[in-house]
Each structure stands twice: as C-alpha cells, then as structure tokens.
Structure 1
C-alpha cells in the first residue's frame, strides 16, 4: 500500500495483477457498466481488462489502458477509442469508462471531461472470461501490458452513469 489520492492506494510495479471475482453483474457482454478509478502514472499499461485467463489477447476481449500516455479502451479485433489528452504525467487523474453493452457504445473520460466515444460492438460474447486489474495479455497492449503506477478508489457500477 502507498499514499493515494484519498488515504492509501494500490501500487503496481509493472509486474503485478489482481483478479476480480467475475459474475453477470460485472460482465461487459451482459450489462451496462461504469468503471471509475483514480490513477497516477508516469508510464502506463492496463487499468482493467475482461479477457481469457491465458496470456494472449483475444477477439472480443475488452481492456481499459494507457498507451503512450493516452487513455484507451479496446475491444479485441473490433476497434479502439483513444484520448488525445495525456495522463502519464505522474499526477492523479480520475479515469472513467461508460459502456452500453447492447450497442457496444464506449465513452472515456479524464478528470470529468469526455475525451472520446465510439461504437465497439463485440462480434460475440466472450465465454470463460476473467476480470483483471493491472494486466491484459503478454502481447497487448504491445508497448506496455502491465500497469506501472498507482490506483485508488476503484468503482465498478452495473449501469452506465451519466456525467
């Protein structure tokens, strides 16, 4: 544990991951979701992913991550929405993703501002998936699959919140 945005936080060193118990209320294929978290990084990597337990990135997997300093959300082999704003400055930023599962509409927010949205409807449900913090797959995101930095105040809602 390290000093966080509010009290203590989880610090990832670029080799750590954590699994979140998965159920239908936290499934990108079955429900609308909002992921909200404070992050501080001077690098990047995966914030949260829904993929298979193996080490390879898979079609229809979902991942919220920071690549080259930019917040992004990718649905494997479908597409990506990516911010123009950089968040790898070592300061705390509030990151949020809203997801409407029926139409595959993803919107990403940084510090309360919408910075991108796109329809990324998966071709089919991802069966046997796991939710992870800090890691997607050995081969994705290519530049930095493991998160390096701090996360605080993670919230996962089984509905798409409005800002």
Structure 2
C-alpha cells in the first residue's frame, strides 16, 4: 500500500466506501482531509468511518451539523460550526496518540481542538 493516496467517491450516501484487505499497520497519529458539500439537515452524516474487527469507532468523524470525533471509542464533541449549508468545504482532522492532541480545521482555519483524547493508544 502506498504511503499516501487519494480516494474519490462519485456518489454520496452509504454506497461510497472502501474495504481494504490485508494487514494495516497500527496508527499512532493520523490526518485525514477531504472536500464535502451537503445541505442535509435530517441525517447526521459520517464522512469518515475507519472500523476494524472489534472496533467500529476506531476513527470516526460524524455529524456535519457540529462535528463529533471518535478515536478508539472515546469521543469529543466539538464546537465546530455546521457545514451543511450547501457550499463546498475543505475539512481536515488530525489526532496524535502521544498526548491525545486532536484538531479539526474547516476551510483552512483551526475550528476546534484539544488534548487528552485516547492518550497512549493506537488505532488498530
């Protein structure tokens, strides 16, 4: 598997996903960026969901009405603004095991972050 790569989903909804076979290394830090556009005010929306056997919430970003970040089942409810306004937004989210540092950026601006999220763990 390459060190970095792009995935593009041409459809929205539950049909745009990737299943990876084989062994993935454990992650002690991760950054994920993506573009999104939504005007959905009914559903939560889950643009990032990394699940492994035994852990559905290994790395999860949900609710584009005000993001909630999960790392290894532990959650942080953010103070980020809603992005379901029908406009394109660039979203970036990062996490680091060493001190549990997490950050959410919206359109290149730091929107929320903190420390202490799943400190000392790795994403399987």
Q: Does 1:63 align with 2:64?
A: no
- Higher strand residue share: 1
Q: What is the TM-score with the length of structure 1 in the denominator?
A: 0.55
Aligned-pair RMSD on alpha carbons?
2.8
The whole-number CA distance in structure 2 between the counterparts of 1:122 and 1:103 is 5
Relative contact order higher in (CA < 8 Å, ≥ 6 apart): 1
Question: Counterpart of 1:15?
Answer: 14
Question: Counterpart of 1:47?
Answer: 47
How many residue pairs end up in the alignment? 111
Q: What is the TM-score with the length of structure 2 in the denominator?
A: 0.69
> Unaligned 5+ residue runs, structure 2?
1-7
> Unaligned 5+ residue runs, structure 1?
1-8, 128-163
Seen in structure 2, the aligned counterparts of structure 1 residues 15 and 33 have a Cα distance that, compared at 3 Å, is closer
Deviations along 1:93-131, one digit per CA (max 9) or x if unpaired, are 00001221222211001011111113311675454xxxx
The whole-number CA distance in structure 1 between the counterparts of 2:64 and 2:49 is 18
Contact 1:69-1:87 at 8 Å conserved across structures:
yes
